[in-house]
Amino acid sequence: MSSDLFDKVKSIIQEIEDTKPGVAEELEQFRLRFLGTKNIIKPLMAEIRNIPNESKKAYGQLVNQAKQKAEAIFEKLKAESEQAADQTGGEGLDLTMPPYPQELGSRHPVSIVMNRIVSIFERIGFSVAEEREIEDDWHNFTAMNTPEDHPARDMQDTYYIKDSIEYLLRTHTSSVQSRVMTTQKPPIRIIAPGRVYRNETISARSHCQFHQVEGLYIDEGVSFADMKQTLLNFAQAMYGPDIKIRLRPSYFPFTEPSAEMDVYWGLENEIDYRITKGTGWLEILGCGMVDPNVLENCKIDPDKYSGFAFGMGIERQAMLAYNLPDIRLFFENDVRFLKQFKASM
Ligand code: DAH
């Protein structure tokens, strides 16, 4: 009887020594069998009461030996399996396998057009300035020569932050002009792309959010001719070297004189008639010489410095470039729409 028990323990020790668990599950099985709360060694320990006194000590030592062996082997195997997992980059991961193909995303059409405009100006020394979309009244309106009671504010109604009349969602990227002019010294040559907001009824033609690119150049002796040449260079890079431009007198509170720039789109088909209202000319941006009041508001001496600014909407240009009928498409995030824009414009 007692030698039976000795034999049982010995066979367990043998089993422990023979086990070579390879993968994690086998290792866990080993742990449960020999070390877990219901391990097979425990009941044999309890059997010590059936062992004659003179053999109790030898039996106890044998059982302990089994326990220690199980622990030692478990630790060793665990370390080995962890090391193996490291070498394969994780549990059972074979790094020599070819990867799953990853689908390439596509750029949003607004980003494609915006990046294109920005890079044209970067090439002639403008650097990108990005600013906040939640703006204060002063930077969006007052500094830009549009004081509180100015009628031009009516055309740019927007969203105010929590009933505040101080913070609003910027209505144009022109707010970046006042931000930059109050923090940098001339010469200033920036191009500022970004999102703007207006309290507009959403339709196929207008939206409460859209994108603009703003440009600003301030230095000594900057003239209207500099502006015209810069914008011509832009139009040629954007629409082709043969494009014709024209500047029409206009009004903006922050420029004096102000103009709108048209490009000659042509009148080849019905769509051309519709988008150019039968004139062949398409308006693409507003521009002008920075009003001395704006310079003064931003603590730049108007007797020493002058400059020009311009601003253009992106969605309209993207709609023209891709022949899209509805501005809402840009903001619906429908992948069936978005994934068509793989090519760069
Ligand atoms: N901020 C004007 C708008 O949103 C566009 C604009 C016009 C920007 C003339 C300018 C500018 O910098 O000189 O309608």
pTM: 0.72
Residue-wise pLDDT tens digits, 201-233: 999 989 999 999 999 999 999 999 999 999 999
What pLDDT score does 4 carry? 87
Ligand 1 center to residue 312 CA distance, Å? 7
From residue 42, how far is each of 17, 27, 34, 178 by CA, in Å? 18, 19, 9, 80
| 3 state SS of 282 | strand
pLDDT at 343: 54
Rg (C-alpha) for the chain, rounded Å, is 38
Judged against a pLDDT cut of 70, whether residue 263 lies above it is answered with yes
Nearest CA to ligand 1 atom 3: 172
Report, as an integer, the average pLDDT of 247-266: 96
Identity (one letter) of the amino acid at 35?
L
255 alpha carbon – ligand 1 mean position (Å): 8
Closest atom of ligand 1 to CA, residue 155: 14
- CA separation for the pair 139, 313 (Å, rounded): 20
Closest C-alpha to ligand 1, atom 2: 311
Kindly report the protein residue whose alpha carbon is nearest to atom 12 of ligand 1. Answer: 310
Q: What average pLDDT does this structure show over 37-44?
A: 90
Instruction: Examine the pLDDT at 345 and tell me if it is beyond 50.
Output: no
- pLDDT at position 307, please? 98
Query: Count of H helices and E strands in the chain?
Result: 12, 9
134 pLDDT higher than 50? yes
The set of protein residues with a Cβ atom below 6 angstroms from ligand 1 is 172, 174, 214, 252, 255, 286-288, 309-311
Residue 192 has pLDDT above 90, yes or no: yes
Q: What are phi and psi of 87, to 5 degrees?
A: -70, -25
Per-residue confidence (pLDDT) for residue 80, from 0 to 100: 80
Question: Which residue has a Cα nearest atom 13 of ligand 1?
Answer: 287
Which pLDDT value is given to residue 125?
Answer: 96
Mean pLDDT on 323-340: 92
Ligand 1 atom closest to 173 (CA): 1
Distance CA 128, CA 150 (A): 30
Contact of 117 with 312, CB cutoff 8 Å: yes
pLDDT at res. 342: 72
Q: What percent of the chain has pLDDT over 70?
A: 95
